[in-house]
Amino acid sequence: MDTTSRPSRGCRTARGGADALHPLQAAFREAHGLQCGFCTPGVLMTLVPFLREHPDPDERAIREALSGNLCRCTGYQNIVAAVRLACGAPAPAPSSPGA
């Protein structure tokens, strides 16, 4: 079911009916917020209602919100970056260039 367009339905999942990604899904893709992707639907389902309540969370609040979801691949860093991106924060700073 589409996470963007059917607020009246009781059940929301990561599976979209349309081609367009939810802005949070798009941010996950931009910020490399997923690797194997297995935990991702659960993470998205935690974050969508969280962001509705907290449209501009700081990093600590994002991490607290995520603390009930386990991810073994990402170390959470890029999940946090993706959330901040979805909230309109600038893209995460790139690491230092190759020496």
Partner 1 sequence: MRRNEDARLLTGRALFVDDVRLDGLLHVAFLRSQHAHARLRSVDASAARARPGVVAAYTAADLGDYWRPGPLLVPPPPIAGLVFNACTQVPLAKDKLRHVGEPIAMVVAESRYLAEDALDDIVVEADSLPAVVDLEAALAPQAPRVHEHLSSNLAAHAVQRKGDYARAKARAHAVIERRFRYDRGASAAIENRAVAAHWDPRAEELTVWDTTQAPIPIRNGLAQLLGLLESQVRVVAPFVGGGFGPKIMMFYPEEVLVPWAAVRLGRPVKWTEDRQENFFATTQERGQIHDAELAVAQDGKILGVKDVFLHDTGAYDPYGLTVPINSQCTLLGPYDIPSYESEFTAVFTNKTIVTPVRGAGRQHGVFVIERLLDFAAKQLGIDRTEIRRRNLLRPDQFPFNNEILFQDSAPLTYDSGDYEPALDAALQAIDYQRFVREEQPRLRAAGHHVGIGVVCYVEGTGIGPYEGARVTIEPSGRVRLATGVGTQGQGHFTVFAQIVAEVLGVDVTDVHVITGDTREFHWGTGTFASRGAVVAGSACHAAAVAVRAKVLELASRELEAAPADLVLAGGRVHLRGNPGGGITLGSLALKANPLRGAVRPGAEPGLEATAYFGPDRGSTANGVHAMVVEVDPETAQVEIQRYVVVHDCGRVINPMIVEGQIHGGVAHGIGNAFFEQLAYDEEGQLLNASFMDYLLPTATDVPNVAITHRETPSPLNPMGVKGVGEAGAIPTGALFAQAVEDALGDSGVEICEIPLSPNRLFELMSAARSRGVRSR
Give the footprint of partner 1 on this chain (CB under 8 A).
Answer: 13-16, 21, 25, 28-30, 32, 34-41, 44, 62-64, 66-80, 94-99
Query: How crowded is residue 28: how many other Cβ atoms within 10 Å of its Cβ?
Result: 26
* Nearest residue (CB) to partner 1, 56 versus 59: 59
User: Dihedral through CA 97, CA 93, CA 39, CA 12, nearest 10?
Assistant: -150
* Nearest residue (CB) to partner 1, 56 versus 64: 64
Given a contact cutoff of 8 angstroms between Cβ atoms, the answer to whether 90 and 63 are in contact is no
CB of 88 to partner 1, least distance (A): 19
Given a contact cutoff of 8 angstroms between Cβ atoms, the answer to whether 15 and 28 are in contact is no
CB of 49 to partner 1, least distance (A): 17
